Structure 1
Amino acid sequence: MSSQEFVRGMLYLTLTVVGIPGNVAVILAFLLLLYQEKRLLPADAIVLHLACANLLVVSVRCLLETLASFHLATIFGDVGCKAVIFVYRTSRSLSIWLTFVMSAYQCLCIVPPGSRWVSVRAQVAHYLGLLFLFLWLLNTSMSSAAILFSFSTPTNSSLMKNTINVQFCYVHFPSMLSIEANGAAQVGRDVVPMALMTLASLILLVFLYKHSQQVKGLRSSRGGGGAGGGYGVRGGADQRAAKAVVTLVALYVVLYGVDNGLWVYTLTVRQTMKSSLISDLRIFFSSLYAALSPMVIIASNRKVNGRLRCVAQEKAVH
């Protein structure tokens, strides 16, 4: 095993060790909540779905890349390459869209009771299942190129043009135009939810800033901290939710910039196909969100945190 393979394997192993337990913990916490309360709130259902998508990203890509890097399993044949790249691209883009849905729904949750957006929130909650189905169909259809153009590493790979090297697999396109078209479609698929989630986060911060100013004004006019106690409880919950959403959005925006900057580099620099370093970096940074986001959810979501603590305490007692 070369030093490059070892470093590569350790990077993916780190994502696997962090991402799989974190996402599994979030999923189990919400399943326990569903078992105890017989239902999930729409916001909880969105976070649960996000954790499932992130688990797919880390398991299908990072775990399998780790096994292959350390030569523990041979899974990247033609069928394996098509399946891994297709599921990875679908689940990663689904994770991005669900992050936008989470931030948008959080905006709807803090609107005043008499606002017309209350009815929109009710409609979103009512048709949440159909929204999940639509996102699955959208992202599955946009990842179909992986099934057509992915295959295992050939012996004469250095002679092929219009090919992207992803270490254990190749994605070969018929022409440079098809590479650029596929790249533009992927970037567009990511840019739309990124722009929308950024806008939703800004609106969320404006709402919370105004709310905090109102609470401060109410407390100062009543001459005591206890007079606005009811507002303080609600404001604290809103602040925690806002910080979680803004942190997730900021995390994605930063990693998105690195990922797509590397993608543009692969389109503008020749002979990129001969080295898999750029593709390795792209996969690492694009998978980093799926590995780190459950840490943010566990730290900020009291329902998840509380269930995990209860499970840990029960194990300690037994």
Structure 2
Amino acid sequence: MIPVDVLLGIAFFFQTGIGVQGNLFLIYLFSFLFLTGQRLRPIDLILTQLAVANSLLLLSTGVVEGLAALGLKNVLDDIGCKIVFYLHRVGRGLSLSATCLLSGFQAIIISPHKPRWINLKARIPRYIMPSILLSWIFNMLQNVVILVKLKGPRGTGNTSEMKEYLYCSVNVTTSISESLHALVISLPDAICMTFISFTTCYKVYLLYKHHKRVQQVHTDNFSNRAFPETRATQMILLLVGTFLTFYLLNSILTGCMHSMTLKPWMLHGSIFLAACFPMVSPFVLIKSDPQIVKYYSAVQDRKIPHTE
């Protein structure tokens, strides 16, 4: 029978390899089309941001977690621990921010064509890039504390003040400072999750109203013209639903970690769950968004020389 640690290591390497390939495919596809002057949808910029964040999250911890699961815990020194955990937290925050922005953007796009929404719909594409830049700045500044508190597995100082996390340790001086740090980290996440949940419910409500309206109309052509964003909205709902599922499971396990004696399987499981959405999301997009397939076909046509 294969030992559990070996299975964990294989799972982390598999998760990282598959997820990075899917996200890099999207980054390459959108970048190629942008650089060749192709017209992209405003939402594609958010999807590119999401793919970059997911790749950063997977690459920052996937390989190291796999090695740690196989028993190689001292693979990082102080600087390595700081960089890996910092990039992991920044990537996780960017992934959450991009999902939040994506859900809000789609909610505005499919909102009823009323005067108060029309002007906002026209201006919203101009706010996407500033929003992405602000999310990078915020997440990079928010996690600066990791560069101060995190140490290597053999960190110096009073061992009673060090909390071990497999191959790294964190300096926790008092329970008050630990609770304050947890509050600072979790509050933006809670706000984003509340916003995502609200916009998701709003979109479900709009889709339900559209479905009831279509049932009263027996002409298929009218139904297709009446709500052309329906398919894209369903894609976003599937993506957001996947995100919420993995995030809630990870949050439950993280809560158990803080309320119980920390065990290695808890930390491995928490990090594995945190990386499930970055692994799955590009394939959800490729499968559910027909425009991505059209983009890929356009790229292939440009690469293949046409013979007379």
* TM bucket, shorter chain: 0.7 to 0.9
The aligned counterpart of 2:224 is 232
What's the secondary structure of 1:171's corresponding residue?
Answer: strand
Write out per-residue CA displacement over residues 170-197 of structure 1, whole angstroms, 9 at most, x where no aligned residue.
Answer: 1222222222222222222221111101
Letter aligned with residue 235 of structure 2? A
Q: By how many angstroms is 1:43 displaced?
A: 0.9
2:267 equivalent among 279, 286, 293: 279
Unaligned runs of 5+ in 1: 220-224
Question: Given the superposition, is the C-alpha separation of residues 127 and 316 from structure 1 closer, same or farther in structure 2, using an over 3 Å criterion?
Answer: closer
Q: By how many angstroms is 1:201 displaced?
A: 0.9
Question: Given the superposition, is the C-alpha separation of residues 99 and 44 from structure 1 closer, same or farther in structure 2, using an over 3 Å criterion?
Answer: same
Q: Where do 1:37-76 residues align within 5 Å? A: 37-67=37-67, 69=69, 76=76
2:253 pairs with 1:254: no
Q: By how many angstroms is 1:203 displaced?
A: 0.8
Question: Given the superposition, is the C-alpha separation of residues 245 and 161 from structure 1 closer, same or farther in structure 2, using an over 3 Å criterion?
Answer: farther
Write out per-residue CA displacement over residues 111-150 of structure 1, whole angstroms, 9 at most, x where no aligned residue.
Answer: 2333312222333311222111111111112212211111
Bigger shift: 64-73 or 125-134? 64-73
Contact residue 187 and residue 260 of structure 1 kept, 8 A = no
Q: By how many angstroms is 1:32 displaced?
A: 3.0
User: What is the TM-score with the length of structure 1 in the denominator?
Assistant: 0.85
What's the secondary structure of 1:95's corresponding residue?
Answer: helix
The aligned counterpart of 2:236 is 245
Letter aligned with residue 209 of structure 2? K
Contact residue 20 and residue 279 of structure 2 kept, 8 A = yes
Q: Where do 1:174-185 residues align within 5 Å? A: 174-185=173-184
Counting matched residue pairs gives 305
Letter aligned with residue 305 of structure 1? V
Identity, in percent, stands at 23
Bigger shift: 198-207 or 3-12? 3-12
Bigger shift: 278-287 or 163-172? 163-172
What's the secondary structure of 2:111's corresponding residue?
Answer: coil
Q: Where do 1:136-151 residues align within 5 Å? A: 136-151=136-151
Unaligned runs of 5+ in 2: none
CA separation in 2, counterparts of 1:107 and 1:35?
29
The aligned counterpart of 1:105 is 105
Question: Given the superposition, is the C-alpha separation of residues 170 and 148 from structure 1 closer, same or farther in structure 2, using an over 3 Å criterion?
Answer: same
What's the secondary structure of 1:153's corresponding residue?
Answer: coil
Contact residue 163 and residue 171 of structure 1 kept, 8 A = yes
Write out per-residue CA displacement over residues 41-67 of structure 1, whole angstroms, 9 at most, x where no aligned residue.
Answer: 221111111111111111111134335
Write out per-residue CA displacement over residues 240-291 of structure 1, whole angstroms, 9 at most, x where no aligned residue.
Answer: 2222222222222222222222222222224x2xx43221111111111111
What's the secondary structure of 1:154's corresponding residue?
Answer: coil
Aligned-CA RMSD value:
2.9
CA separation in 2, counterparts of 1:155 and 1:171?
9
- List, as ranges, runs of 4+ consecutive aligned residues in structure 1 with deviation greater than 4 Å: 67-75, 309-318
CA separation in 2, counterparts of 1:314 and 1:165?
52
Letter aligned with residue 204 of structure 1? K
1:293 equivalent among 281, 293, 306: 281
Q: By how many angstroms is 1:34 displaced?
A: 1.9
Question: Given the superposition, is the C-alpha separation of residues 192 and 180 from structure 1 closer, same or farther in structure 2, using an over 3 Å criterion?
Answer: same
CA separation in 1, counterparts of 2:293 and 2:161?
48
CA separation in 2, counterparts of 1:153 and 1:234?
60
Question: Given the superposition, is the C-alpha separation of residues 62 and 317 from structure 1 closer, same or farther in structure 2, using an over 3 Å criterion?
Answer: farther
1:305 equivalent among 286, 293, 308: 293
Question: Given the superposition, is the C-alpha separation of residues 114 and 173 from structure 1 closer, same or farther in structure 2, using an over 3 Å criterion?
Answer: same
Question: Given the superposition, is the C-alpha separation of residues 31 and 230 from structure 1 closer, same or farther in structure 2, using an over 3 Å criterion?
Answer: farther
User: What is the TM-score with the length of structure 2 in the denominator?
Assistant: 0.88
CA separation in 2, counterparts of 1:248 and 1:315?
30
Contact residue 162 and residue 179 of structure 1 kept, 8 A = no
CA separation in 2, counterparts of 1:147 and 1:217?
60
Question: Given the superposition, is the C-alpha separation of residues 312 and 212 from structure 1 closer, same or farther in structure 2, using an over 3 Å criterion?
Answer: same
What's the secondary structure of 2:40's corresponding residue?
Answer: coil
Question: Given the superposition, is the C-alpha separation of residues 62 and 309 from structure 1 closer, same or farther in structure 2, using an over 3 Å criterion?
Answer: farther
CA separation in 1, counterparts of 2:176 and 2:153?
23
The aligned counterpart of 2:117 is 117
Letter aligned with residue 193 of structure 1? C
What's the secondary structure of 1:218's corresponding residue?
Answer: coil
The aligned counterpart of 1:222 is none
Question: Given the superposition, is the C-alpha separation of residues 206 and 68 from structure 1 closer, same or farther in structure 2, using an over 3 Å criterion?
Answer: same
Q: By how many angstroms is 1:89 displaced?
A: 0.3
2:81 pairs with 1:81: yes
CA separation in 2, counterparts of 1:72 and 1:42?
44
Question: Given the superposition, is the C-alpha separation of residues 62 and 39 from structure 1 closer, same or farther in structure 2, using an over 3 Å criterion?
Answer: same
